Amino acid sequence: MALPLVITVAPNGARRTKADHPALPIDPREIGLEAARCREAGAAMIHLHVRDAEQRHTLDLDRYRAALAAVRREAGPEMICQVTTEAVGLYSPAEQMAAMRALKPEAFSVALRELFAEPEDEAAAAAFLAEQARAGVLVQHILYDAGDVTRFQGLAARGLIPLERASVLFVLGRYAVGQRSDPADLLPFLAAWNSEHHLDLPWALCAFGPREAACLVAAAALGGHARVGFENNLWRPDGSLAPDNAAQVANLAAHARAIGIAVASPAQARALFVGEA
């Protein structure tokens, strides 16, 4: 029997603003209300970005705490809150790690290319990840191509990336022309992932453009999980503008159920990420 699909909503990201879509949530109250709508639509986890007063990306701890409190207030205590460490050219690996040490979130995502940017970063990154594993944090490693997959596997084999409570996110089409993803973009990732160095970890993907839903349904059919939302895509499959993030979540949940795949609750998602599913 297939595992239930864990749907993560990424409602805003680091770059888009209300000029891109008026329903894109920016302040804590908007993020909390959007989280509640998306939880009702089927999302088990929210991927959080926060912004400064000019809507610019930040890892500011007070802004993170305000957003996390709003999600808990509006969506309840069950929804998994995953924060981003994304650099966006503003933060060094040391600053990203310091932010997570101070914030102590339940879950965070980190790009392999950012945390292990240079060979000399390995010792500090490995120590940080070991510390987070001991603390029981759910760490999702972001991988942008098949080369990242192979490198991740190699670092894990060397003991530099702990596998406890770890998962990976494949980013489809980040460097494609016009950032328009296609389900076939998943194949190189899976070829690398299912190599002789295969790791028994949960994997998910996110995608760009109108074929986002097709990519995510393909992942679900192949045993993966999905991240959906305005961070990566504002469009419905028919090319029209989506009204909000909750509509994107509901559409994905409906497609999953239509092919016989259940949608995971937050409790089921936690069990999967901690290796109890």
Q: What's the whole-model pTM score?
A: 0.96
Q: How far apart are CA 144 and CA 218, in angstroms?
A: 18
Residue 2 in any domain: the answer is no
Pairing of strands 50-51, 203-206: unpaired
Residue 1 lies in a domain: no
Sequence-separated (6 or more) residues with CB below 8 Å from residue 62: none
- Nearest CA to 149 out of 113, 106, 180, 99 is that of 113
Measured between alpha carbons, how far apart are the two ends of the chain, in Å? Answer: 12
Q: Which residue has the tokens 């207030």?
A: 73
Residues spanned by the domain of 55: 7-274
Residue 13 resides in a domain: yes
Q: What is the predicted pLDDT for the residue at 275?
A: 87
Domain count across the chain: 1
Q: Give me the helices (H) in 178-265, please.
A: 186-193, 212-221, 245-258
CA distance 62 to 137: 20
| 225 within some domain | yes
**What is the predicted pLDDT for the residue at 277?**
67
Residue 117, SS3 per DSSP: coil
**Position 152 in a domain:** yes
Q: Which residues pair with 46 in a beta bridge?
A: 9, 81
The three-point CA angle 271-276-277 to 5° equals 70
Long-range residue pairs from 120-123, CB within 8 A, at least 24 positions apart, any chain? 121/93, 122/155, 122/160
Find all residues with CB under 8 Å of 5, minimum gap 6, and list them.
220, 225, 226, 253, 256, 261, 262, 263, 264
Taking CA atoms, 20 is separated from 25, 57, 84, 123, 206, in Å, by 11, 15, 21, 40, 19
Consecutive 10-residue runs of the chain (277 residues): their mean pLDDT? 90 95 96 98 98 94 98 97 95 97 98 95 97 98 97 97 98 76 94 94 95 95 97 93 97 96 98 88
Tokens of 70: 């709003």
- Token duo for residue 152: 């991740």
CATH label of the domain that carries residue 166: 3.20.20.70
